Amino acid sequence: AQSVTQLDSQVPVFEEAPVELRCNYSSSVSVYLFWYVQYPNQGLQLLLKYLSGSTLVESINGFEAEFNKSQTSFHLRKPSVHISDTAEYFCAVRPARGGGADGLTFGKGTHLIIQP
């Protein structure tokens, strides 16, 4: 079984400041890692994912995450946040070889609050 821990339930940050949302996971098998974002009153959207290759992955809107196997982490970062980044962010994992039998395992979410 897998588990995901998002250490911060809320992260307040000023606009244009950098931010890091932390995610640690536990799994006995290799996993794929995902970050999803949920804007107010909307469904979840994929922000970025790590499957293999370079451990640093980037999204189109300036977020990046680095897979650290030794620390079992997949922290999300952005060098300068904008008001429009206010949302709930979910880290998730899925067994790399589980196929459909294993769904996404989500963390509890981190609410990113951008203050002007």
Q: Within 2-21, which residues bind other proteins (CB under 8 A)?
A: 4, 9
Pick out residues in 53-82 that bind other proteins (CB under 8 A).
none
Q: Select the residue interacting with other proteins from 43, 54, 60, 116 (CB under 8 A).
A: 43
Question: Quick one: tokens of 13?
Answer: 């940050």
* DSSP bridge pairs for 1: none
Q: Which stretch binds other proteins (CB under 8 A): 13-21, 56-64, 76-84, 86-94?
A: 86-94
Beta bridge pairs of residue 113: 12
Q: Which two tokens stand for residue 103?
A: 């769904």
Asked if residue 108 binds other proteins (CB under 8 A), the reply is: yes
Output the smallest distance, CB 16 to other proteins, in A. Answer: 29
Under the phi-then-psi rule, with left for phi > 0, alpha for psi from -120 to 50, and beta for the rest, what region is 16?
left
Nearer to other proteins, 77 or 98 (CB): 98
- Tokens read off for 20: 């890091």
Got the DSSP string for 81-100?
--GGG-EEEEEEEEETT-GG
Residue ranges that bind other proteins, judged by CB under 8 A: 4, 9, 32, 36, 41-46, 49, 51, 90, 92, 94-104, 106-109
